[in-house]
A and B are shown apart, each in its own frame.
Chain A
Amino acid sequence: MVLATLDQEQTKNTPAVQADPVTGLFRMMGDSYPENSFEFFAPLIEWIEAFLETNTEALTLELNIAYMNTSSVKAMMDIFDLMEEAFQQGRKVQVAWFYDSRNERVVEMIEEFQEDCSFIFEIKKINDACDQGA
């Protein structure tokens, strides 16, 4: 099975998504409060599952999300669970979560996610809102 490249534009309430099966880089940028979180996240979770199953490359998740609604929080935890499971089985996975220096408060939320992950999970400050951090 050849895994597709994902490239979704950012909308008012969903982040931009870019996923490359060759490099194993999965990026999400923007706020996340989709009207139907399941509909939005299901294909993304499927992609990550398929990548971890079919590919041996490292999976790198780069996030720049300032706001998330409850169901997005749940979906994100599901994604981290998948990554943790893969990591326990010897896969190389990591997360880099970028945040805008003008809103330090989100660090607290990111740290909550980080707490349950034993793989590399970096929290990085970016100074410029235009800087995507990658």
Chain B
Amino acid sequence: MNDIPFNEDDTTQQELERLLKDPALRDNPLLPIVSQLYQKNRQQEQRLDKLLKIADGFDSLIKGDQQTLYKRYERHIKRLEKIAHISDLYQKDIIQLNEQLQHISTHDPLTDLPNRRYLMTRIKQLTALANRQGRRYSVMLLDLDYFKLFNDYYGHETGDQVLCEMAQLLTARLRTFDICGRWGGEEFLLLLPDVILPEAAEIGKRMLAHVQSRDWHYGKSLALASQTDQPQPASLSFSAGIATYQLGESFEETIRRADNAMYQAKNQGRACVVSAA
């Protein structure tokens, strides 16, 4: 009993214990009552103390466990976040690869212009619009003149360079919703929505003048390499055929008419623009 100290006042306790044992007070009628109250009080204190100790034990146990649990939880969350993060990166990568693939499948690798497949898709869309809403479009097929000779003269690398520069030159002079694509070899196709023949022909002529006015200087001539090291001037032009979509015809027919017009332009001496009938 003595091992449990009073929390508040040690001297009061000691005094009380001394009085309870004092032989002079042995016959005091209050002694048994006081003694009983004292014992009761001590027992309650002891019980409370025990309970507190148990409660403390539980508390520290729970606190310790919580920490372990929390740490484990945190580790799992971090891991999950990392898995999600890496997975997101892979997803981003695959989206970018898809975009690249989409670009590759719709663009010409040399000039980076829309390719024939893409042009066909757009022509089909424009045809559908034309049939549904009565909107018109024109197709201009243009073929570089004497390009094979140019290639032979300057070499294929220079020829490729010319194709790229021609692509830029043609594209730069178009409206944002016009499309210039590579139809094949040295042939380009211009798709002009909401443009009909007289205007389309004007666009073609302006472009031709622009191409012709440019000095195409390319390194030294391969054919003349032995004779001169000086850059050789060259002049380039194209022959173009233009057709405006006519209601009721297929887009293949429109392209065919533009193609025929382009051959007429070739036959007329090249470097000109011919409108299809």
What residues make up the interface of A, taking CB atoms closer than 8 Å to B? 67-70, 73-74, 77, 103, 105-106, 108-109, 112-113, 116
Besides the known contacts A70-B84, A108-B89, A112-B82, 11 further A-B residue pairs in the complex with CB atoms under 8 A apart:
A68-B86, A70-B83, A70-B87, A73-B83, A73-B86, A105-B92, A105-B93, A109-B89, A109-B93, A112-B86, A116-B82
Chain B nearest CB, measured from A101 CB (Å): 15
Q: Name A112's contact: one of B89, B92, B93, B97 (CB within 8 Å).
A: B89
Ordered nearest first, which 9 A-B pairs have the shortest CB separation?
A: A70-B87, A109-B89, A73-B86, A112-B86, A105-B93, A73-B83, A74-B83, A73-B87, A109-B86
- Which applies to chain A's interface (DSSP): helix, strand, loop or mixed? helix
Docked pose: A109 CA to B90 CA in angstroms: 7
Contact B90–A77 (Cβ < 8 Å) = no
Given that A69-B87, A70-B87 are known contacts, is A77 also in contact with B93, CB under 8 Å in the complex? no
* Per-residue A-contact encoding for B72-99, CB less than 8 Å = 1, 0 else: 0000000100111111011011101100
Contact A105–B96 (Cβ < 8 Å) = yes
Chain B nearest CB, measured from A99 CB (Å): 11
Q: Which residue of B lies closest to A113 (CB)?
A: B86
What residues make up the interface of B, taking CB atoms closer than 8 Å to A? 79, 82-87, 89-90, 92-94, 96-97
Q: Which residue of A lies closest to B82 (CB)?
A: A112
Question: What total of A-B pairs shows CB separation below 8 Å?
Answer: 37
Contact B94–A67 (Cβ < 8 Å) = yes
Contact A73–B90 (Cβ < 8 Å) = yes
Could you pull out 19 A-B pairs where Cβ atoms are within 8 angstroms? A67-B93, A68-B86, A69-B90, A70-B83, A70-B84, A73-B83, A73-B86, A77-B79, A103-B97, A105-B89, A105-B92, A105-B93, A108-B89, A109-B86, A109-B90, A112-B82, A112-B86, A112-B89, A116-B82
Residues in B whose Cβ lies below 8 Å from that of A74: 83
Residues in B whose Cβ lies below 8 Å from that of A105: 89, 92-93, 96
Residues in B whose Cβ lies below 8 Å from that of A109: 86, 89-90, 93
Q: Which residue of B lies closest to A32 (CB)?
A: B90
Residues in B whose Cβ lies below 8 Å from that of A67: 90, 93-94
Q: Which residue of B lies closest to A81 (CB)?
A: B79
Residues in A whose Cβ lies below 8 Å from that of B87: 68-70, 73
Docked pose: A108 CA to B85 CA in angstroms: 11
Docked pose: A73 CA to B81 CA in angstroms: 12
With most chain A CB atoms within 10 A of its CB, the pick from B83, B84, B86, B89 is B86
Q: Which residue of B lies closest to A110 (CB)?
A: B86
Q: Which residue of A lies closest to B92 (CB)?
A: A105
Residues in A whose Cβ lies below 8 Å from that of B82: 77, 112, 116
Docked pose: A42 CA to B86 CA in angstroms: 21
